[in-house]
Amino acid sequence: MKEIFWCKNCLNMSTRPRITFDDNGWCNACQWMEEKKTLSWSPREKKLLSILDTHRSKSGGFDCIVPVSGGKDGSYVAYNLKHKYGMNPLTITVKPPLTLELGDNNLKNFQESGYDHIHITPGFEAMRILNRTGFIEMGFPYYGWLTAIMTAVIRMAMDMHISLIFYGESGEVEYGGSSETKNRAIYDIDYMQRIYLSGGHDMVLKESRLSDSELYFFKFPDKEEYKDKKINFAHWSYFENWDSYRNYLVAKEHCGLDEAGDNNSGTFTNFSQNDQALYALHVYMMYLKLGFGRATQDAGIEIRRGAMDRDQAINLVRLYDGHYPEEFIETYLEYYQMTIDEFDAVIDKWVNRELFKKVHGRWKPTFEIK
């Protein structure tokens, strides 16, 4: 492994997949932050208007789909489509496996704020097995659910003859990673499989040993099935300057979003990713594999929007990153049907030992953030 380093502006690590840095040591997310300051958004909004006009239903049906969790970003996108652009969006939630009460309440509040909504609940056991398989084989604790928020939504779009789906931000562009969609309004299934599912989709489904009927909501359409029902996928962040905190304020005012009473597991914020217990394990695994966790990601967002300086961010990351989700361990063991030894063995399998060493039964970093 090459010598690790951090972005000179935010705290993105060189270990982040697909990330690039310029000669000044700035990551591509910070370069994009600077570019957006002088970017003319007018051509992109014209592109959006053209896309919307193309997909408006002539029969009074739904114009597009917005996947939502009841959180800030999906709520913000749905709100703008309906109230700013006069679209008729169908909102869809793929139910997470271990929901939290706050997330359930936020979704209920969103539904009651005035949106047509479909709740897709894939088979519990199929979801559990795929999440367990993804945890073991990929180090992704909710791989089945991560798959379904794409595949189940695509299935519903095809069945309902809706050909436009809006997701929130391009995490690769906004937070660091591949820049291939920076100047591309529409992306495709190949991008989803390569980037969001780390190229492991087919392997995880095969290793699960589930039947085709059990995998209905977890499989992408085959080419023959898809060719006559082509769907356009778009990141809303392509069309306007993405701001997670602004999204939170809009969702709180107009969609009933509520935040946690305390900071979330592994970070200093309290207003995002409040829908499920497995997210805490997801970011812990990310930390052990790559060296950065939820606090690093949140700090980077705060730096890039001008709400925090780098020294403040370093102090917060040192305080919060790498939190072992002790509060959920018994829930995880019951869900995965594992003993604590089996669970810890999976975690140990995915630890980057060039970045961590085990001290008194817990993995500790051998690096110091700079």
CA-based nearest residue to 266, from 306, 311, 326: 326
- Report the 3 state secondary structure along the chain: CCCCCECCCCCCECCCCCCCECCCCCEHHHHHHHHHHHCCCHHHHHHHHHHHHHHCCCCCCCCEEEECCCCHHHHHHHHHHHHHCCCCEEEEEECCCCECHHHHHHHHHHHHCCCEEEEECCCHHHHHHHHHHHHHHHCCCCHHHHHHHHHHHHHHHHHCCCCEEEECCCHHHHHCCCCCCCCCCEECHHHHHHHHCCCCHHHHHHHHCCCCCCCHHHCCCCHHHHCCCCCEEEEHHHCCCCCHHHHHHHHHHHHCCCCCCCCCCCCCCCCCCCCECHHHHHHHHHHHHHCCCHHHHHHHHHHHCCCCCHHHHHHHHHHHCCCCCHHHHHHHHHHHCCCHHHHHHHHHHHCCCCCEEEECCEEEECCCCC
Q: Is the pLDDT of residue 281 over 80?
A: yes
Whole-number pLDDT of residue 71: 95
pLDDT band for 272, please (50, 70, 90 cuts).
confident
pLDDT digits (tens, 9 = 90+) for 130-145: 999 999 999 999 999 9
Q: Inform me whether the pLDDT recorded for 2 exceeds 80.
A: no
Domains and CATH numbers, the chain: 42-238 (3.40.50), 262-365 (no CATH)
pLDDT at 1 over 70: no
The tokens describing 204, both together, are 């995880």
CA 307 to chain centre: 22
Q: For the chain, what percent of residues have pLDDT higher than 90?
A: 92
pLDDT at residue 273 tops 90? no
The residue type of 234 is A
pLDDT in tens, 96-107: 999 999 999 999
User: What's the pLDDT at 225?
Assistant: 77
Share of the chain above pLDDT 70, in %: 100
Residue 265 pLDDT > 90, yes or no?
no
Please write the tens of the pLDDT for every residue from 323-335: 999 999 999 999 9
pLDDT of residue 229: 77
Residue among 122, 170, 119, 118 nearest 144 (CA): 122
Q: What's the pLDDT score for residue 82?
A: 98
Higher pLDDT, 1 or 17: 17
pLDDT above 90 (res 62): yes
Closest C-alpha to 189, from 137, 138, 230: 230
Mean pLDDT over 45-54 rounds to 98
Q: Average pLDDT for residues 11-32, to the nearest whole number?
A: 97
- The Cα 230–Cα 161 span in angstroms is 10
What pLDDT is attached to residue 263? 86
Residues 195-245 pLDDT 10s: 999 999 999 999 999 999 999 999 999 877 777 778 999 999 999 999 999
Mean pLDDT for 340-363 is 97
